[in-house]
Amino acid sequence: MSFTQFNFSSQITENIRNCGYEQPTPIQEKAIPKVLSGSDLLGLAQTGTGKTAAFALPIIQRLSKGPRGKIRALVVAPTRELAEQINQTFLDLAEGTGLRTVTVYGGVGKGNQLQQFKRGVEIVVACPGRLLDHLNNRDVNLNKADILVLDEADQMFDMGFFPDIRRILKYLPKHRQTLLFSATMPADIRKLADETLTHPEEVRINLEQPLNLISQVLHPVTKPQKTALLLHLLNETTDGSTLVFTRTKYGAKNLAKKLMKTGYKATDLQGNMSQNQRQRALTGFRDGDFTILVATDIAARGIDVSLVGQVINFDLPSTAEAYTHRIGRTGRAKRSGRAISFVCHDDQPMIKAIERLQGKSIERLTITGFAMDKEVDQQHEPPKNTPRRNTKKKTHSSSHSPQQPHSKGKKKSTKPKTKHRPGNIFGLERGSK
Ligand code: AMP
């Protein structure tokens, strides 16, 4: 399968080549012809699948032909980072077409956004709150925006954006093409899809493959020993960068500080930071200026940083779905990745929920010097209706003591050796392909 089948313009074809895309990903293969034909689309897929180009390419092709100076496509996304990332994809793939884009989100001044509206743009990538603000002030006119993309709809729901989205819809033409993407399809998303889409084509992307490239392991540990265990693991890490997730903003900031003091090139990414600080952290992490990013769930979705070698859940997330999104930050673009989670006594119900969602158990690996006690394994039972897998505790010996995380010595790899059975991660794959 090749991109030539879509008959993109020569400029777009060149841009695809310049991006290094050799062939369409499965979602691009399925979605591009449908979007080009003007159909509404319901896409069940998460980031990491090539979803952004799956909607950006046909939108650019369609807009290349029409009038300029009016907003003709609106993409709504939950976070500023994702909006910037989507915008970058549009910039790369629309190079030389003359199409202009702008990102619109809060936390920064309005001046630049207003200026760009005045100059004229065809594509707007926005977070709901600030866009609504501009609409209420009549800064912007969407009555020619006949392509709407709602990206990461489930995260927008989780973040309480649906009332804003329903308000935004009133500013758009009734006859339009709407594309809605979501990684999961709970009832509320289905309801929004029913309200916004007309006879949609449905595209489901099997999530097995990305997650199968990720080896997962749980390290039982007591709370006070988490930092020492993290330092121990980082000391043994030789490849790629590390994304560490904490539960709280304060936790992320504090842990990043500790890592910096220990000599690591680390930074934090959390909601208490200004947009400029957030962007600096993310860009620095992407460019390799920081090898460790300590983040809250703000970075769990959408963010695409290739070469994230491992995700470490310093604290577990509050939902099993969030775990899937977090670990999806590694193993991207067909690379393998590692997901390590620290597990304390209180985390047992969440581990059970994660294993239930994945339909398989995750290997436990106790690292010498960091053993919690026997309870974690004794409490563990494989999820219902799942064949019992090897959940035996493996004791991992190490030459490092927790008190001396950086002592040099013969290192043993902490790479988990779990073999993964294909998992029906979100229960969405039935009927796909
Ligand atoms: P997304 O799911 O849109 O976040 O994309 C994930 C990553 O895949 C991004 O780094 C894209 O640049 C990359 N990508 C998208 N389409 C392709 C393709 N056809 N071939 C290779 N990489 C791609």
Assigned domain for 394 exists: no
Total domains in the fold of the chain: 2
The share of the chain scoring above pLDDT 70, in percent, equals: 81
Between the CA of 159 and the centroid of ligand 1 the distance, in Å, is 25
Decide: 218 and 341 in contact? Cβ < 8 Å. yes
Q: Residue 406: what pLDDT? A: 35
Nearest CA to ligand 1 atom 22: 21
Residue 426 counted as domain residue: no
Which residue among 15, 16, 21 has the greatest number of ligand 1 atoms within 8 angstroms of its CB, and so is best to mutate? Answer: 21
Expressed in angstroms and rounded, the spacing between residue 324 Cα and the centre of ligand 1 is 19
Distance 54 CA to ligand 1 centre (A): 9
313 pocket-lining for ligand 1 (C-beta < 6 Å): no
Question: Are 339 and 299 in a shared domain?
Answer: yes
- Mean pLDDT to the nearest integer, 186-197: 90
Cα of 418 from ligand 1 centre, angstroms: 27
Residue 302's pLDDT band (cuts 50, 70, 90): low
Q: Which residue matches tokens 């012809």?
A: 33
Does the beta carbon of 52 sit less than 6 angstroms from any atom of ligand 1? yes
**Alpha-carbon gap, residue 11 to 18, rounded angstroms:** 10
- The verdict on the CB of residue 48 being under 6 Å from ligand 1 is yes
Residue 327 CA to ligand 1 centre (angstroms): 17
- Identify the weakest region by mean pLDDT among 172-176, 213-217, 349-353, 379-383: 379-383
Strand, helix or coil for residue 273: coil
CA of 40 to the centre of ligand 1 (A): 22
Question: How high does pLDDT run on average in the chain?
Answer: 82
Q: Is 62 helix (H, G, I), strand (E, B) or coil?
A: helix
Strand order in the sheet with 147-150: 101-104, 123-126, 73-76, 147-150, 177-182, 41-44, 201-204
- Same domain (yes/no): 88, 158: yes
Domain-embedded: residue 360? yes
> Is the CB of residue 307 below 6 angstroms from any atom belonging to ligand 1?
no
Compute the distance from residue 55 Cα to the ligand 1 centre, in Å.
12
Atom of ligand 1 nearest to the CA of 28: 19
User: In the prediction, which pLDDT does 183 show?
Assistant: 83
Residue 229 domain boundaries: 214-373
Of the chain, the percentage scoring pLDDT greater than 90 comes to: 58
Given this model, what pLDDT does residue 338 score? 87
Would you put residue 265 in left (φ > 0), alpha (ψ -120 to 50) or beta? beta
pLDDT tens digits, 2-19 = 999 999 999 999 999 999
Split at pLDDT 50, 70, 90, the class of 420 is very low
The SS3 of residue 187 is: helix
Of 373, 394, 412, the last residue of a domain is 373
Q: Which of 155, 176, 205 is the last residue of a domain?
A: 205
Distance in angstroms (rounded) separating the CA atoms of residues 127 and 111: 16
Report if residue 318 sits inside a domain: yes
Task: Tell me if 46 CB under 6 Å of ligand 1.
Answer: no
- Name the residue with the closest Cα to ligand 1, atom 11: 50
Domain match, 40 and 156 both:
yes
pLDDT score recorded for residue 418: 29
Residue nearest to atom 21 of ligand 1 (CA): 21
- The whole-angstrom separation of Cα 383 and Cα 372 is 22
- CA nearest ligand 1 atom 1, residue: 50
Q: DSSP of 401-426, one letter per residue?
A: -TT-TT--S----------------S
Residue type present at position 308: V
What gap in Å lies between CA 135 and CA 130, rounded to an integer? Answer: 9
**Do both 251 and 174 map to the same domain?**
no
Output the CA 419–ligand 1 centroid distance in Å. 26
Could you tell me the two tokens for 27?
A: 């979602």
Do residues 55 and 165 share a domain? yes
Buried b (16+ CB within 10 A) or exposed e, 72-111: bbbbbbbbbbbbbbbbebbeebbbebebbbbbbbebbeee
Ligand 1 mean position, distance from CA 332 (Å): 9
224 and 288 belong to one structural domain: yes
pLDDT in tens, 118-163: 999 999 999 999 999 999 999 999 999 999 999 999 888 878 899 9
Find the length of the chain: 433
Amino acid 163: pLDDT: 93
Q: How far apart are CA 372 and CA 376, in angstroms?
A: 8
CATH number (domain holding residue 192): 3.40.50.300
CA of 78 to the centre of ligand 1 (A): 19
Determine the average pLDDT of the residues in 250-269: 95
Query: Does 145 lie in the same domain as 223?
Result: no
Is the same domain home to 193 and 336?
no
In a domain, 42, yes or no: yes
Residue 334 lies in a domain: yes
| pLDDT bucket at 319, cuts 50 / 70 / 90 | confident
105 within 8 A of 127, measured Cβ to Cβ: yes
Highest mean pLDDT among 6-20, 229-243, 280-294, 416-430: 6-20
DSSP output for 109-120? -SHHHHHHHHH-
Q: Closest ligand 1 atom, CA of 49?
A: 2
Q: How is 17-28 classified by DSSP, letter by letter?
A: HHTT--S--HHH
Q: Is 25 in the pocket of ligand 1 (CB under 6 A)?
A: yes
Q: What is the predicted pLDDT for the residue at 339?
A: 92
pLDDT above 60 for 389: no
Regarding whether 140 and 40 lie in a shared domain, the answer is yes
Task: Output the pLDDT for position 297.
Answer: 85
Ligand 1 contacts CB of residue 335 (under 6 A): no
